[in-house]
Structures are given as C-alpha cells and as structure tokens.
C-alpha cells in the first residue's frame, strides 16, 4: 500500500505543479474566469490516460515494440515546445508590468494563448497519467479478491489525494507573491521542467535504439543524489534529473538554455519593433 501511495503521490505532484502554475497565472492576470481551459486540458488528459491504458492490448499490436515509446517522446517534445512558449511570454509579461510592486494585473489573453494553456495542462497531466493508470490498472486486473486489491488501490488514491492537497496548499502560499517575482520564479521552474522533458524524450529514443547516446553514462552522480531517495525521485520526475545520463541527453539539457535565451532575445527584439 505504501508503495503505490508514494508513486502516485509523486506523479500527482509532478502533474499538479504545472496545473497549479497555470491556474495561479490566470488568477494573477485577472483571468480566473478562464480556469476552465486548464481544467478541461487536465480532464481530457485523465480520460486519454484511461483510454490508452485500457486499450493496452490492442495498442501493443498496433504500436509493436517501439511505437509507444516514440509516441511518449513526441508528447514530451510537444510539452517542451509549449512550455518554452509559456516561459517566453511569462518573461514578456514580467516586463510589461510597470509598477514594481503589483499583486495582480489585468492582462489580456488571446484565445490562442488559452488553448496553449489547455494543451500544457493536457501534456502535463498526460505524461504522468498514462503511467499511473497503467500502474493502478494492474492491481485491478490481478484480481485476487477485495482484500488484496483494496490496499494498493487505496494507497494509490490516497497518494493522488495528498498530492493534490499539498500542491493546492503550496500554491495558496506561492500565489501571494507579487506579479514580477511570481512570473520570474514560475518561468524558472517551467524552464527547468522543459529542459528535463526534452532530455527525457531524447532518453526514450536512446533506449529504443533510435538515437545514439554518443557516450553513456557520462557520469554517475548517485552518490550525490540518487533517484531512489524521495528528493531524488521528485527532482528526477519534475526536472528530468538523471544520475547516469547519456551524453546526448546532457547536451540537449544543457543547450536548451542558451537556445531558449536566444529565442527570447529575438522575441523581445521583434516585439520592440
């Protein structure tokens, strides 16, 4: 029961972090009436996870060996793209704010941006959702009567519940930040999440043999932080930390930052015209 609890708790926090940032963002720019875009994105992700997990057998035939991993990598790359867009316009928002101390602002948000937020909520929840559903589903299918199925499933549901609660509490506090610091900190978090998703996607392609690792592993930092520990598993899930990454993963992670910075500068330049 503890096992399923910890896993679902962790996965829920990883997903809820993104959803929380999106909702708090909308709230702070005075667009809380658009919350539904984020809720729908998250809801559809849960449904999609259930459908994909449920269609497990049919999909294995259709996807063969590596199709599913390519699909997961594609989801991660899509997430990276949408997250990067979000970071860039959050940065832009931060610059728009004239007053140094402002708790909230009335900023317009286009329909396109709202759909981008919905997409972000979707990928943020889906990437965790699929694995979590598959994981919990297994316990259902195992059967063996209510006494053996109930504990792990209860543990799993409690994990989801506590994860949502803790994230909600976190954002109650985090939401009190003034606009500029909120945008800065959120942008920072999302930036590292994006880099992590990018290198994780690459990692998936490496493990199915589609992308050469170049050198693997380039180091082993498990003495410093192991994915086995609670903190390590959170950092691994949220920011894509790996103790023994391949060179190509590390390169993508590293180069994501200067490339995004260049893109950001270019956007700023274009907008200034």
Partner 1 sequence: MHFGLLLGLGLWLLGTADAEDGIRILIKDHRFSPSEVRVKANTKVKLLVSNEDETAEEFESFSLNRERVVRGGQSITIFLPPLKPGSYDFFGDFHPDTAQGKVIAE
> Footprint of partner 1 on this chain (CB under 8 A)?
3, 7, 56-57, 60, 65-66, 68-69, 131, 134-135, 137-139, 141-142, 203, 206-209, 213, 215-217, 220, 222, 226-228, 242-246, 249
CB 23 within 8 A of CB 170: no
Which residues in 207-238 are b (16+ Cβ under 10 Å) and which e? eeeebebeeeeeeeeeeeeebeeeebbbbbbb
Q: Does 217 sit behind a cis peptide bond, omega within 30 degrees of 0 on the bond before it?
A: yes
Q: What angle (nearest 5°) sits at the alpha carbon of residue 87, between those of residues 260 and 16?
A: 130
CB of 165 to partner 1, least distance (A): 24
The nearest distance, CB 217 to partner 1, in angstroms, is 6
Nearer to partner 1, 221 or 267 (CB): 221
Using CA atoms, how far apart are residues 186 and 21, in angstroms rounded to an integer? 7
Q: How far apart are CA 166 and CA 13, in angstroms?
A: 8
How near is the Cβ of 259 to partner 1 at its closest, in Å? 23
CB closer to partner 1, 60 vs 102: 60
Closer residue to partner 1 in complex, CB, 66/177: 66
Rounded Cα gap, residues 230 and 233, in angstroms: 5
Indicate the residue among 189 and 208 with the shorter CB distance to partner 1.
208
Based on CB atoms, which residue is closest to partner 1, 3 or 181?
3
């Amino acid at each position: 029961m503890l096992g399923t609890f910890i896993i679902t708790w962790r996965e829920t926090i990883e997903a809820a972090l993104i959803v929380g940032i999106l909702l708090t963002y909308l709230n702070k720019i005075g667009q809380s009436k658009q919350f539904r875009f984020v809720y729908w994105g998250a809801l559809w992700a849960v449904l999609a996870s259930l459908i994909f997990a449920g269609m497990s057998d049919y999909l294995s035939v259709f996807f063969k060996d590596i199709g599913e991993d390519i699909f997961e990598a594609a989801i991660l790359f899509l997430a990276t793209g949408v997250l990067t867009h979000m970071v860039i316009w959050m940065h832009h928002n931060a610059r728009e704010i004239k007053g140094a101390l402002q708790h909230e602002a009335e900023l317009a948000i286009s329909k396109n941006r709202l759909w981008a937020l919905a997409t972000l909520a979707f990928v943020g929840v889906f990437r965790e959702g699929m694995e979590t559903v598959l994981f919990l589903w297994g316990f259902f299918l195992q059967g063996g009567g209510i006494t053996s199925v109930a504990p792990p499933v209860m543990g799993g549901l409690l994990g989801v519940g506590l994860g949502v609660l803790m994230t909600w509490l976190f954002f109650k506090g985090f939401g009190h930040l003034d606009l500029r610091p909120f945008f800065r900190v959120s942008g920072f978090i999302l930036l590292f999440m994006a880099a992590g998703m990018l290198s994780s996607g690459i990692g998936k392609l490496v493990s199915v043999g589609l992308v050469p690792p170049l050198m693997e592993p380039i180091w082993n930092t498990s003495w410093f932080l192991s994915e086995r520990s609670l903190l390590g598993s959170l950092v691994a899930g949220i920011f894509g930390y790996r103790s023994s990454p391949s060179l190509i993963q590390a390169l993508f992670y590293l180069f994501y930052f200067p490339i995004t910075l260049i893109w950001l500068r270019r956007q700023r330049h274009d907008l200034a015209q």
